[in-house]
Chains A and B, each alone.
Chain A
């Protein structure tokens, strides 16, 4: 069992998952399944953003869905109303969410813990209200239609589901790759130190505001990226994209998958999206199954699927190699090396 488990976490497992994702459109029963998977990937990208500010940096940001909507609306309005083509508007969406993230960040991050959460909850709701009521700019409840699809430079047609799926997959891989690199870097460790405690981080010479704002801007840019992809995929968006429920959905994905882990956001999002899909026939009653499932998960896997799994793996490896044995082993190898160099 242990061997099987350890195989799951090797780089090979990640390539296997990637291979599965690449082959998925070929094995999928129909185009709808590919579409659902692409949607799940889009949300997963946004959840990776939430993972940076909340999972790594420890600041519960409840405006995340709002920034997702800002990304979607920036792309939607620029292409539909202002005649921009997709890719410049896509870049515009990233810049917009980064800049707004910076501005919201420098104000909201002056607050700590639940005050920050409450403040960002309000920011998220204000974003929803602005989109819903500022009709001259956003068309209000009518929404934005005729959003441009990404053009494939004459090579691919992204209005088809499968090419778009691969586009989203490419961005998802990029998002995970950066997350992995960030988590192992000194910068990621800096974020984690802030999560452990403001005062301790400061006493380690860490500038709280600068690092928190950086984490916040990274997270809103992730949300903007996901939002822009979403707008390019569905081509029609409305104020509901900024609904606060999306933020809580993303928090659920993050908690189930494993907060503060690399693969957690992906596993949590894809898992829940598919469970929700397969329970669709129950309509509103699906919560009767979904609710207890969540409760069980939180009870037995408090660190999410990935987090609990990694902890279990670590314990296992510690049990297999007790401290003393490890030390002897070290000494032995050191002696061997010496012997080798002598020979």
Chain B
């Protein structure tokens, strides 16, 4: 599904991501872990096209997306969330989500001027898609509320819904469970599992909550100083001495 081949990203003389190769399979939950500054978010930015790699290739379903700008990558089916999502606070949740389906529509200025049939059709489709995404993340009941009036956890779910409204094949989630309590973390894990099971999506996430990752991820990649130091199932990663030394040893205890 998503194949990353020898990707490197240099910022000046610093290799934020260094010669990383990895393959994410369809319908799996893939986690990327690593200490702060390991290059995880940069890695996401490379896949989603916000940054262009200095070298290497990225293939999505066999299509070379290495140097595509991020809006084109999104149209090819890569949805993503950010650590923080700025939304229109004084607008309703539903209003904020409608634009999520914009990339599947074609209406332009002329359609707005004449209020064309196409625009009406596409706006209805976008609204339906937004509502569907909202129902999927379990927030249909706050559709009419302002973003400013919903909880932190609900905001995170709205960010999920926004990514889902783009009709992605793969979603990149940057710390989806950061800043939410343990109970809500369980809810997010269930939601990600549901995305894979019900929508057949490929999920890719960056996360620091180890107990969640270990029970949720089908495959884990460990980055440290921009390099891939390990890859495998939770069991394999947990028992990998390199990983324990670089990262897990102290942190797992701390997380538990």
Contact = CB atoms under 8 A, between A and B. Distances in A.
A70 to B, nearest CB: 21
Nearest to A199: B50
A327 B141 contact: yes
A102 B75 CA distance: 26
B82 A187 contact: no
Nearest to A191: B99
B48 A203 contact: yes
Contact of B71 (A206, A218, A314): A206
A315 B90 CA distance: 10
A202 interface: yes
B98 A181 contact: no
A187 B86 contact: no
A307 B72 CA distance: 34
Contacts, number: 104
Interface in A167-221: 178, 181-182, 185-190, 192-193, 195-197, 199-200, 202-208, 214, 218
B141 A314 contact: no
Contact of B74 (A203, A218, A315): A203
A200 B86 CA distance: 8
Interface string B67-84: 001111011000110100
B109 A187 contact: yes
Contacts of B86: 196-197, 200
Contacts of A327: 141
Interface in A219-278: none
A118 interface: no
Contact of B90 (A189, A199, A206, A310): A310
Interface in B80-115: 80, 82, 85-88, 90-91, 95, 98-100, 102-103, 105, 107-109, 111-113, 115
Chain A interface mostly helix, strand, loop or mixed?
A: helix
A184 to B, nearest CB: 8
B52 interface: no
B146 interface: yes
A259 to B, nearest CB: 11
B40 to A, nearest CB: 16
B135 interface: no
B145 interface: yes
A332 interface: no
Contacts of B85: 200
Contacts of A214: 109
Given A189-B102, A318-B145, A204 B162 contact: yes
B112 A204 contact: no
Interface in B112-160: 112-113, 115, 119, 122-123, 126, 141-142, 144-146, 149
B74 A196 contact: no
B84 to A, nearest CB: 9
B166 interface: yes
Interface string B36-76: 00000000000011100000000000000000011110110
16 contacts: A186-B105, A186-B126, A196-B87, A202-B50, A203-B48, A204-B71, A205-B72, A205-B75, A205-B166, A207-B71, A208-B71, A218-B109, A307-B90, A310-B90, A318-B149, A323-B142
Given A185-B123, A207-B69, A315-B146, 20 more contacts: A185-B107, A185-B111, A186-B99, A186-B126, A187-B109, A188-B112, A189-B98, A192-B91, A200-B85, A200-B86, A202-B49, A203-B163, A204-B102, A204-B162, A205-B72, A205-B74, A205-B75, A205-B102, A314-B146, A327-B141
8 shortest interchain CB distances as A-B pairs: A205-B103, A205-B74, A189-B99, A202-B70, A197-B86, A193-B99, A185-B112, A205-B75
Interface of B: 48-50, 69-72, 74-75, 79-80, 82, 85-88, 90-91, 95, 98-100, 102-103, 105, 107-109, 111-113, 115, 119, 122-123, 126, 141-142, 144-146, 149, 162-163, 166
